[in-house]
Structure 1
Amino acid sequence: MAVDAGTPVGALLVLEGLEEPLRPLGEDVEPMDFNGAQAQLVENGGELGLLVVTFTGYFLQVPASACRWLPSDALEGYDLVLGPSSDPEGLAEQMPSLLLERGFVTTHVILPARGRAGILSAVKQLEDCFYRLPIEFELGYLGRGPARSDKVAMLEGLEAGSLAESSGLLAQERSVSEHLRLLKHRLQEPLGIQLSSRTNLLLRLSGAAPAAEAPRAPAPREAEAFLALMGRRRLCLLRFLGPSTGKIRLIPREADYPEVSMVACLDLQVLFLTQLYDFQFEPDGECLVLQSFLLEEPLQMVFQKAEMQPARRAARRSRRASQSQVLVKGMSSRDPCEADLHEKLWTALRHGGCDGFLEIPKTRFDVDQYIDYEDQQRAMASFKSYCRHQGHIEGIEIFDAAFFNIPDQEVRGMDPEQRIFMETGWLAMSDAGYEREKVRIESAHIGVFVGISGSDWRDVCKAPSANGVPETFIANRFSYAINLKGPSFIVNTACSASLVALHSAKTHLLMPQDPLDACLIAGISLNVSPGTWAGNCAGAMLSFRGRCFSFNNTADGYGRGEGCAAAVLGRGEYDQDDDTTCGTLAASHSNSDGRSASLTAPNGPAQQRLLRAALSEARLQPTDLDIYEAHGTGTSLGDPIEVSAVRKVLTQRETPVMISCSKTNLGHLEGGAGMSAFCKCVLACMHAEVAPNQHLRVQNPNMDTEGWPALLLQEGQALKGEASYVGVSGFGYGGTNSHAMAFGKNVVTSRGGRAKNSAGHPDCFPPASAGFQYNDSCTSAVAYKDIPECYMSCRVHGIDDIKFFNQHGQFSRACSEGDLQRLLFLASTVETGKVQGFDDTKTPSHPQADALIRQVRSAPPEIAMVGDNFEDWQSNGVPHLSMKPGQSFQVDVMEGGRTFWSAVPSSKPRSVKGLSIQGSFNGWTAESLVARETRVGLYEFELSLGASGSESFQVLVDGLTSQVLHPAEPHCTSRVAPVRGPRHDAGRELAWVIQGAQRDRFLIEVFLPPGEVQSMSVTWFKLRDIAPLPSLQTPPAPAPQPMVLDELGIEE
């Protein structure tokens, strides 16, 4: 067929009769012979010639006489052609029919030769960013076959910047997104697939050099996310960019479909249904493959009912016989990781995996002048710091002086350590239930004990004052401002200062003479002067990498941190049901090294005596200590000495002791380190959990732990018992050691005996009773939105305190978690929704519902990843791969937080003798459906549309109006809507609606598989449409609506 001026743009052509080789437009290559080349018409200039693009991506200006239409049988191996002048809407209209007919579509994507070369060049430059997937995930992502040398990278994760844009990689990303947009609403009717999203573009490099590092084993959370993704994928898109070719096999999952093999030539795109096919790619050489999964909307869960079985637990009691225990009545913190309340501290340490180290900002001092990060020896010789990171807290310059009645002229010269302590100290008192005005008027016999290792403020203060600079005033100023009349002093024993202050406070609190009402203890440390940095570096005390690599083989010194933590101690009997108590100080002790290797050298025997004395005071055996919070500064010799001392005391154990260290998250807070660690210990008791260590990869070879049941944790872990003892040590470099031991019961998580009712306590903002203009803004919803216990909900409220944002702007969420060993409830999947997991808006009111759903949503499953095929894995979690709409599951929530999901057998209707139909076409009287003999469970009915061109109908079981099957939505025109029923009260609005022209004849099919109610389906076809699908090997000539060139990375 001849090509002329009327040939539409987008037509597929073949070039013949070219008299001489042509040089492609815009290409620096030699002229080539294009006779026989297939091409697409880009611009029809009539007598002036045609602008075409060949299938290999070269643009040419050719005469019309050298072109003819491409024959219908010439597209070998392709169903469709997608080029710069293709009509994307027209191509998308053909894809559903092809997918329905055979389950896959092949498309030749015309890419400019220069664009393809740019992509391959960019990938070569970025090859070091490619990695190998975990072996367990390779089958799901890379298909079957030997793919052990294949490397992958997510385009979103590459630090490509302008390189990705200029090379055309981002244009490929947009092209895949365009496929999702075009298919999103076209597959629901023919295939019952409602696409919602897709995975990020995966770059797969096959046949290249293997990755430098072996893949790590996936964590349970990652494995569950992988299974959820595999359960949601519906189509897989593969695009082959070369430079080598290969062989692609589509392997059917069902016997009804044949295996398909094809050559993966350049620019081939294969789109196939993952429910019908798996795939295998065998490259002939190095080949880049772009891949993305098109995903269906995640299924929602609807909470149905719950059955509670109370547990009989052997409650662990404190062996402490004293009639007057030391209670922790309130806490607060201002630590790195944005942990400006102690609830945030726990979330950051336990769930966030936070590293609070930042580069020292220039607002502290001129880092360029005082830090030489490039050369450690040169920095030491020139009295500069070689470390530029610290565990950092923000806003130390902001202070609400009016709340504490401090005049402005005095504030200007006031040490920031005083400011931070005053705010944090008052938050701890407010958490303990004290009210400012009442204390100011009546005063209180409360002692103030502050651990501090010095202050840099005198070196940088430009407006010094007599009572603003000396650190000796830090405790006295608080007592003065709040009107507290107990003892008030600081303790400076360097790194053990705040734990020694805690021990001193306990001693004063238990003294019978002049008994105190309570004690406020705090530890504080800020870094505001370069002098201290330079001095520490001169002694090679700091880590060159700027972190505390506690217990790791890279430990080379400590990383400095700053922060403040405070707690209020009182006397009384510990009661788990007392909402005003967080836990107890079970024991504390302090001693000195005496003569040892040197004044500053750690002393193992002294540390052993310290721990034994604390155990003796608490009347505990070494086996009773559950968690040891280590001093663990991250020095190559200090950590082994401490671990060796602890081992000699706690060696006789049947269960392992958990060893944790907050310095890996916060840095070494020096004088304030002990109190931040003690608050962490109390929070560990309240949750019956232990937080992991950061930066722990390879154990320090100097540490001898072989044969000793101890766990240096890399992941958080729940404790088996309800009550726990947690000890923390602090060692001053001058030889003063201190140890404190916390005891408490699980009052927060559902494994505990009671959800802590902390009405009035803060979740995200300080309580209204705090009064002052707190300088923090709530960023937790953004920074920690995906953590199971985010900042907003780590305080668990009682069921009687149901509220969301109260009048003070505090966010509260009602959760009541009882002492339950086994919680049974039913959850049903419904149609696709907006949020994966549980739809709280559809959850009935139930005392345990909120806590139960929150736990099931966040509980990590136990997955046995046996073998390479993820479909064979055993999991006690959500059955992502087998879930169907309408299916019900029983979820057992066991002691310890584990969940077990099992499918509930479908409630089948009574023995069905037959199905009937009623509707507007027969006056809503029952007529029998005809059962098709060739297929069990399939029923049919023919009808003609009336004058209105619309008819409604319902299906009846055995012709009974009390057994109505109906669609999930009223006046339903969709043939893939879920079927509901049978029920007796379904109104006529709950009916399917067929629309068309008068006298159009339709065939209604109702399919009811035996014993599978959730798989019932109702559909209909216009009788004239029932015919074999036409051959779509050659697409019809597209309309002249050019595709946006940028989508394929083609420049106009």
Structure 2
Amino acid sequence: MPASALLTRGQLVEISGLQAPIAPSDRWKQDGDKGARDFNGQQGQLIDFTEQTGEWTVATFSADMVSVPESNLRPLTAEDLQDCDIALGPASDTGVMGAELTDSLSQKGYALCKLFIAPEDLTEMVSTADRCVEGGAFSRLPPELETGYLGKDGKGKTLSVDLESSDTADFLRESPLKIFEDAIETVGTLLRPFVEAELGFDIYSRSSTMMSLPFSDDEDLYSAPELENEEAASFLSMMWRAKVMILLNSGPGASTLALTPKAITDQDPVEPQLTILPGMLCIFSMDRYKFACSSDEKALSLSAFFLDAPREYVIDNITGDLTFLTGSISGPSQPKTESVPVVSMGMRYAFGVDEPWKTWVAYAKAGWDTITRHPTARWDPDFYYDPDADQTSGKSYTCHGGFSDGIELFDCRFFDISPAEARGMDPTQRQVLEVSYISLQGAGWSKKSLQAKPANIGVFVGLDKNEWNSIPKDISGGFAASSGANAITANRFNYCMNLKGASMTIDTACSASLVCTHTAKLYLLHKHYDPCEAVLICGVNLSLSPLTYVSGCGAGMHSHLGRCFTYNFSADGYTRGEATASTALKLKPFEREQGEYCVLAGSQVNQDGRSASLTAPNGPAQERCAQAVMKEIGVKPPEIDTTECHGTGTSLGDPIEIGAYRKVMASVPRHEPVVITSSKSNIGHCEGSAGISGFLKCVLLSLYGEATPNCHLNCLNPHLDMSGFPGIITTENLTFRAEASYNGVLSFGFGGTNACATVWGINQMTSRGVGTNKDLYSLFIRKMQDAPPQEVTVVGDDWEDWEMGGPDKDARFNDIFEVELDPDGVVSYWKKDKEVPDMGCPYFLTGTFNDWKYDEMEADASVPGLFYATIRITANVEEEFQIVADKEPKMTFHPSSRTSMKSSAVRGPEETKRENCWCIRGIKGERYRVEFYRSDTGAATVSWLREA
């Protein structure tokens, strides 16, 4: 941009001598052209210069953009701006503005700023506030807090506003309040780079904006509430950090701000009182001034505090009886039923997910979707697939499913099976052997130990079909009978591992493996004659033949879209998935310290009986099954956190299931909704192993204290009856309300056999839990953070006289407090007196100005403990110095690093490097008086002041 010879960008000017009205530009204002009018006498800021026309674009204080010839612009002088210190315009240099604001705060303790705001925005803001008043949004503060927020003798109605909050009304978000919020943020941005070095504090954060209106004739309508201790503690903690207050006047009247110095100094109270006109703001130092704000007419004020960084505390050591820390678990307690802990898990899903932690990451973090096109390693998908297939085509209208890798692999030697026999074995038997052994070993048994001493362990395998027998193959000799028999699928594991407990394969269709879980639990509890030491449950499902897809499509059960769109509007059937999963249960006290996962709290199985049809789901039967589990445990519906539903993604089954479960959950009012999940949206419908897969997912939910999202859910199925249902179907993770939780699983067979189970467990895996992996330090810190606020003693009308337990406002670096935490969570503090160190004497100044020799400092005659000396800036632009007692290097006072900040903490006396020094920047020949003050308690401060 070419520069003008007379004026510069950002300069403040006055428009004069225009012969005719001119129309403003709409480049800044978004409401368009307001029409031509007279701008003579208006003031503003230069934005840019157009060399071709010789005109400047001027931003006026009334927020218009006008193009004015340079000859009609007069630079403003100090006399023209007597009503303010700084104008914050769109072309202002941020570095210059920040430095000027900081300098004004340093010199005077306040700054009056003029904003560029349209009069109509001011009027609309007041109208918005009036609308809030009419809507009952304004209220009155407790009288004790009015002095802090509204100033001495301040009274009025107030409203705290946060534009980021979802509770804020839309009309307030869309009002000019955003302009004022931006102005407050801008002031903080301008100050932040300068205040730490110049004023000794940091703008760490800011308070919410408070709107306030003085009472007119409506004071009787606003009753003053009583001050609660929690509110008083929060207020006092904030005010101790408040360093700068910003007060903005939106009009329509002017307001008067009286600032009274807090300290008795040579400086008189600010006279005359500051007048804040509409569209102006004032910032002032909370450390230097108390304030009083008044108005003779209606004036809407907006205010906020800039806060210093919160103080940091370090806990050195923790002693005493801390057993109440580790024993504290929030949430429902362990059920009173006999304890049946889940002691191990094994799994083999698609994508190589074969460990619990992988399964959790897949469900909770990776948006797991295992569905792929039919692999050619199984069959030729193109031969059996026709997107337009019908009941008579003999083909499948889907070509997608979930498939596990490596089912052709098998370590037959480990199980003492010959290669000849293994060659003809049903792959489901291989999977059951390998995955069940993982759970067996996790439960404490190995093949070697069992060969020496058999164990009475029951094995229960759930599957719902035998596809191996429908595949042509050459199986000769005595292996033919056992190679594909369903009974052998369970019996073979007992045989190979030398287990003497019950062994059975159960087929109730999709609920088979959860029925196995319930049956296994009954065998554990039936301990009077031949008790089981443990039970193993395994569910298996493999897609070995394309004919199952053909028959499923012939019945219209499969999804045309190739996914389980559980609860989604596009649900049109399920997609098949492969999975082999296992777990081991014992009958013993639950010990999470021993690595046990959770407790099988309850399980039940029932049947639909004669319903609409043989395969139609029955809502009342499902309802009874879920209620029976809760009766067994002795809990009410509000105690259930998550339910892993059957949720196949069928247009008939999903609404019936949700309808039945809604009746169960809505029978007792609850504060938080139950979370509804379904693993079938991730891994497809695993049929015979669907129940155990859902069960193990519930175990993981308990371990991590978190519900996982459902996949492929964009819009709820309109047939789902969610009215009055205290449930939420999630599309993202959701943490549980407490450390302990109940999580249930539902599974229904298409022949009418329903199974339900619920686990109780504790969050052992994340920092939110109280697992054994958390140390006492973390638990102690958490208890302190959750402790009730310290007691506030309100002394008088001035909040600065109030007292609060714990470290007070004047607590300094290296102060030590003893802290006591009692079992009720109450924290008490006692300040520990520090031993006064040997500070030495006399004191000497050493640094670059005297080649690191020693210049003795003089003792001040009027202030005990104050010593001073003079530094003269030599050829260097800056001089470094330290203070040394007794000319002994081991008695050096210094900052933690090289710094020019007077607020830096003084370290020592101790030996240190010369790099750890204070630095004075100045001009050659300038003299600075350096002062060193030591208190009777051993505290020390260092400051310097340029001498005239």
- Structure 1 pair 883–946 and aligned structure 2 pair: CA distance change class (3 A): same
TM-score calculated relative to the size of structure 2: 0.59
Alignment partners' CA distance in 2, 1:465 and 1:120: 78
Q: 1:12 is matched with which residue? A: 12
User: Do the aligned residues in 2 keep the contact of 1:329 with 1:582 (CA within 8 Å)?
Assistant: yes
One-letter identity of the residue aligned with 2:518: H
Q: How far off is 1:867 after superposition?
A: 13
Counterpart of 1:967 (choices 894, 917, 926) is: 894
Please tell me whether residue 568 in structure 1 is matched to residue 583 in structure 2: yes
Q: How far off is 1:1020 after superposition?
A: 0.9
Q: 1:900 is matched with which residue? A: 827
What SS does the aligned partner of 1:187 have?
A: helix
Q: 1:306 is matched with which residue? A: 318
Alignment partners' CA distance in 2, 1:602 and 1:996: 88
Q: 1:183 is matched with which residue? A: 191
Q: How far off is 1:951 after superposition?
A: 4.7
What SS does the aligned partner of 1:105 have?
A: strand
Deviations 1:703-722 (A, max 9, x none): 9xxxxxxxxx9972357xxx
User: Structure 1 unaligned runs (5+)?
Assistant: 208-219, 366-394, 407-415, 459-463, 536-541, 548-558, 616-621, 648-657, 704-712, 720-724, 750-762, 764-786, 798-814, 818-847, 1025-1052
Q: How far off is 1:1021 after superposition?
A: 1.7
Q: 1:153 is matched with which residue? A: 163
Aligned pairs for 1:878-917 (under 5 A) are 885-892=813-820, 898=825, 900=827, 902=829, 904-905=831-832, 907=834, 909=836, 916-917=843-844
One-letter identity of the residue aligned with 2:583: V
Deviations 1:711-742 (A, max 9, x none): xx9972357xxxxx979696969997767676
Q: 1:952 is matched with which residue? A: 881
Q: 2:479 is matched with which residue? A: none
One-letter identity of the residue aligned with 2:505: F
Please tell me whether residue 265 in structure 1 is matched to residue 278 in structure 2: yes
- Structure 1 pair 584–884 and aligned structure 2 pair: CA distance change class (3 A): same
Higher relative contact order (CA 8 A, sep 6+): 1
Aligned pairs for 1:535-546 (under 5 A) are none
User: Do the aligned residues in 1 keep the contact of 2:435 with 2:581 (CA within 8 Å)?
Assistant: yes
What SS does the aligned partner of 2:113 have?
A: strand
One-letter identity of the residue aligned with 1:188: E
Q: How far off is 1:333 after superposition?
A: 8.7
One-letter identity of the residue aligned with 1:55: F
One-letter identity of the residue aligned with 1:86: S
Question: How many positions carry a matched residue from both structures?
Answer: 786
- Structure 1 pair 662–149 and aligned structure 2 pair: CA distance change class (3 A): closer
- Structure 1 pair 304–891 and aligned structure 2 pair: CA distance change class (3 A): same
Aligned pairs for 1:411-810 (under 5 A) are 449=460, 476=489, 487=503, 489-490=505-506, 492=508, 499-508=514-523, 518-521=535-538, 568-571=583-586, 574=589, 576=591, 579-583=594-598, 585=600, 600-601=619-620, 614=632, 663-664=675-676, 716-717=737-738, 788-789=767-768, 797=773
Larger Rg, first or second structure (1 or 2):
2
TM-score calculated relative to the size of structure 1: 0.54
User: Do the aligned residues in 1 keep the contact of 2:462 with 2:506 (CA within 8 Å)?
Assistant: yes
Q: 1:24 is matched with which residue? A: 24
User: Do the aligned residues in 2 keep the contact of 1:693 with 1:714 (CA within 8 Å)?
Assistant: no
User: Do the aligned residues in 2 keep the contact of 1:1003 with 1:1022 (CA within 8 Å)?
Assistant: yes
Alignment partners' CA distance in 2, 1:85 and 1:312: 61
Deviations 1:10-29 (A, max 9, x none): 33222333333333345633
Q: How far off is 1:191 after superposition?
A: 0.4
User: Structure 2 unaligned runs (5+)?
Assistant: 27-31, 215-228, 375-399, 412-426, 474-483, 544-548, 561-565, 646-656, 711-715, 717-721, 727-733
Alignment partners' CA distance in 1, 2:666 and 2:110: 61
What SS does the aligned partner of 2:583 have?
A: strand
User: Do the aligned residues in 2 keep the contact of 1:876 with 1:899 (CA within 8 Å)?
Assistant: no
One-letter identity of the residue aligned with 1:1017: T
User: Do the aligned residues in 2 keep the contact of 1:632 with 1:661 (CA within 8 Å)?
Assistant: no
What SS does the aligned partner of 2:278 have?
A: coil
Counterpart of 1:329 (choices 327, 343, 363) is: 343
One-letter identity of the residue aligned with 2:197: E
User: Do the aligned residues in 2 keep the contact of 1:446 with 1:519 (CA within 8 Å)?
Assistant: yes
Q: 1:930 is matched with which residue? A: 859
One-letter identity of the residue aligned with 2:943: T
Question: Which has the larger displacement, 940-949 or 11-20?
Answer: 940-949
Q: How far off is 1:329 after superposition?
A: 1.6
Identity of matched residues, %: 18
Q: How far off is 1:1006 after superposition?
A: 3.1
- Structure 1 pair 635–425 and aligned structure 2 pair: CA distance change class (3 A): same
Q: 1:1023 is matched with which residue? A: 947
What SS does the aligned partner of 2:201 have?
A: coil
- Structure 1 pair 45–682 and aligned structure 2 pair: CA distance change class (3 A): closer
Please tell me whether residue 101 in structure 1 is matched to residue 107 in structure 2: yes
Deviations 1:190-245 (A, max 9, x none): 2012346779x9798999xxxxxxxxxxxx999999999887665566777x6967
Alignment partners' CA distance in 1, 2:840 and 2:792: 45
Aligned pairs for 1:368-447 (under 5 A) are 397=402, 399-401=404-406
Deviations 1:768-814 (A, max 9, x none): xxxxxxxxxxxxxxxxxxx8449xxx9765xxxxxxxxxxxxxxxxx
Q: How far off is 1:99 after superposition?
A: 1.4
Q: How far off is 1:504 after superposition?
A: 1.0
User: Do the aligned residues in 2 keep the contact of 1:964 with 1:986 (CA within 8 Å)?
Assistant: no
Deviations 1:578-613 (A, max 9, x none): 63433555776656799999974269999887767x
Q: How far off is 1:1023 after superposition?
A: 0.9
Deviations 1:140-175 (A, max 9, x none): 9x9556555665422999999xx99xx999999998
Q: 2:927 is matched with which residue? A: 1001
User: Do the aligned residues in 2 keep the contact of 1:418 with 1:474 (CA within 8 Å)?
Assistant: no
> What RMSD, in angstroms, separates the aligned Cα atoms of the two structures?
7.6
Deviations 1:471-528 (A, max 9, x none): 9989959989997797453454877x66532221234567877968640356999999
Please tell me whether residue 941 in structure 1 is matched to residue 861 in structure 2: no
Alignment partners' CA distance in 1, 2:575 and 2:292: 53
Alignment partners' CA distance in 1, 2:209 and 2:38: 36
Alignment partners' CA distance in 1, 2:5 and 2:71: 11
Alignment partners' CA distance in 1, 2:607 and 2:597: 30
One-letter identity of the residue aligned with 2:905: P
Alignment partners' CA distance in 1, 2:236 and 2:577: 41
Q: 2:388 is matched with which residue? A: none
User: Do the aligned residues in 2 keep the contact of 1:449 with 1:501 (CA within 8 Å)?
Assistant: yes
- Structure 1 pair 717–38 and aligned structure 2 pair: CA distance change class (3 A): same
Counterpart of 1:77 (choices 83, 102, 119) is: 83
What SS does the aligned partner of 1:74 have?
A: helix
User: Do the aligned residues in 2 keep the contact of 1:861 with 1:876 (CA within 8 Å)?
Assistant: no
User: Do the aligned residues in 2 keep the contact of 1:327 with 1:571 (CA within 8 Å)?
Assistant: yes
One-letter identity of the residue aligned with 1:505: A
Alignment partners' CA distance in 1, 2:636 and 2:317: 39
Q: How far off is 1:977 after superposition?
A: 1.3
Alignment partners' CA distance in 2, 1:104 and 1:269: 11
One-letter identity of the residue aligned with 1:153: L
Q: How far off is 1:39 after superposition?
A: 2.7
Alignment partners' CA distance in 1, 2:514 and 2:923: 85
Please tell me whether residue 992 in structure 1 is matched to residue 915 in structure 2: no
User: Do the aligned residues in 1 keep the contact of 2:99 with 2:194 (CA within 8 Å)?
Assistant: yes
What SS does the aligned partner of 1:1018 have?
A: strand
